[in-house]
Amino acid sequence: MKSKIITAVLSVMLLGACVDNPNVTEDIYLNTPDPTKSWVKGLERQLAITMNSVLINTEMVSDNYFNNYTLYSKVFDIPQIDYTDIDVNDLQQEIGRLREMATYGLETVAVADENVSQENIAYMHFCKGFAFLLGGENFVGLPMESLGAVSDWKTLLNGAIEEFEDAIDMATDANHINAFKMFQARTYYRLGDLTNAKNIAESLTADESFLFTIGFDGENGVVNEMQNATFTSMQNRFAPLPRLDYLDPKYYDQGTAVSDQKPISLAKAEEAFLILMEAYLAENNVASAKATALDLLDVVAARPVAQIDDSRELRNGTNRTDYPLTAVAVRADADSEFENDLILDRQAGFIPVYTVSGTKVTIEDIEAASSVDEMLYLTYLLRQEIFISEGRRMNDLGIRFPVSQTEQLNNPNVDESFTQAVIPSFIPLNSGLDDFTVDETTGNVTVAFDMNKVIVNNKATADVVPFQ
């Protein structure tokens, strides 16, 4: 394992070239000047690769996107999630690689580096914690070390909190400190720990422009695969739920795709406000939730909006051919009102692209909400819109991947109970999460299920709404 990790990192670190050097052994590498610095660069690369796997697979499982081509999983949209599925194993492997690289960096590289900086140690703790966080959010459980016993998702999240605490203690960069605190708040939120999540979130609302991202390097073969799936590829691979059409794409390229790879937000100020809204609602404090929501709209409104030519987007994948191409009305389900401006006519001119966050929730929507459930609905709609293309929606739906068969076959510590996915009973099957109908006369679209309404209706279950 160590030699494979060394080779993977050196292949992108040596003089900036993607060339493996078979003459560099572990001992030679550890005795080069500042080995931790290059190791952190390798961790950044692995983090980008891991996020590619997280975004493609979890966005597809959720109601955000439908795989309208043939390149990615053919069954995650159902959703059908089997422990034998190669995509389950690939996602688990990327998270595992991030964890093991961070562990090796802390236990071996940093120890051998007499000039190691606190900031680099902090980043390695962050990467290890983030691997635990991704595992705890997306899987029923995972090992916390190579071939170790499988820990359930709550144990993984508690491990993440400890690593983030170490990262905070070591970090000197103010933006990194805020990011690591936000990851702690996110972890406490998912654990349902209202007090800790709320306290940390409150401390992070002052900087409304806060943003922490991971970048991509098209020149060296690490592209933003979500950008490829939603914009660059000529096959129009991913199609958004029509209600979310106006938010697609979040990532785009101008000029050459290789040289214009957009970063992905890992932490941003919006999340602090969303956590606070949900905490206030758990406390039956509708007024404070509404005030926080109004502040959140200001944060979102201040985010950059690009104008791009998206006329190549024809939703012309081969799996479903009735996606709307003109600015028709859409409703969230058959019991909702039709809304305009959610589906764009991309042939009519440039369209807006919300590169960090966007929403169609209005001041009037928030002011009109009078109950906990009405505000909770807006909270989850805001979460869906703000986090689209960031790999967060599947968590909010309560869906979890199983431990892969490959892990089970190689690790005697895998209990059978961890090889079953969690798909809550309220999740529509048979591709219902992405389904919609089109009126033959008007072209207006009706989404089959308003999953934000479903989340609120099932808030008392253990699968969703952590603070309830």
| Residue-wise pLDDT tens digits, 109-133 | 999 999 999 999 999 999 999 999 9
Domains and CATH numbers, the chain: 1-31 (no CATH), 33-457 (1.25.40.390)
Contacts of 386 (CB under 8 A, 6+ apart): 270, 274, 300, 357, 358, 359
The phi, psi pair for 307, rounded to 5°, reads -115, 120
145-148: list long-range contacts, CB under 8 Å, 24+ apart: 145/99, 145/103, 146/1, 146/96, 146/100, 147/410, 147/411, 147/413, 148/411, 148/413
125, 164 Cβ separation under 8 angstroms: yes
Report, as an integer, the average pLDDT of 284-295. 98
Task: Give start and end residues of each alpha helix (H) in 14-85.
Answer: 26-30, 35-61
Place of tokens 């900087």: 207
Q: How far apart are CA 214 and CA 62, in angstroms?
A: 22
Mean pLDDT of 315-326: 91
Global model pTM greater than 0.75: yes
What is the token pair recorded at 206? 């002052």
H helix runs in 62-152, sequence order: 86-104, 110-112, 118-138
Report whether pLDDT(82) > 80: yes
Q: How confident is the model at residue 236, as a pLDDT? A: 76
Q: How would residue 21 be classed by pLDDT, with cut points 50, 70 and 90?
A: low
Residue 162 near residue 81, CB atoms below 8 Å: no
pLDDT tens, residue by residue, 336-395: 999 999 999 999 999 999 999 999 999 999 999 999 999 999 999 999 999 999 999 999
Write the pLDDT tens digit of every residue in 168-178.
Answer: 999 999 999 99
| Average pLDDT of the chain to the nearest whole number | 94
Q: What is the pLDDT of residue 15?
A: 30
Helix axis angle, 269-282 to 372-386, nearest 10°:
160
**pLDDT for the residue 22:** 57
Which residues, in sequence order, are bridge partners of residue 331? 446
Distance CA 272, CA 205 (A): 6
437-462 mean pLDDT: 98
Q: Say if residues 70 and 318 touch (Cβ distance below 8 Å).
A: yes
Share of the chain above pLDDT 90, in %: 90
Copy the structure tokens of residue 186.
């996110």
Q: Residue 235 to residues 38, 71, 250, 320, 442: CA-CA distances in angstroms?
A: 37, 10, 17, 13, 27
Res 213 pLDDT > 60: yes
Burial of 323 (0-12, 13-18, 19+ CB in 10 A): buried
Q: Angle at CA 330, nearest 5°, toward 329 and 331?
A: 135
Whole-number percent of the chain with pLDDT over 70: 95
The tokens of 87 are what?
Answer: 């995509």
C-alpha–C-alpha distance, residues 401 and 88, integer Å:
7
| 7 pLDDT above the threshold of 70 | no
Please give the Cα distance from 139 to 130 (Å, whole number): 14
Mean pLDDT of 304-320: 93
- pLDDT value of position 316: 86
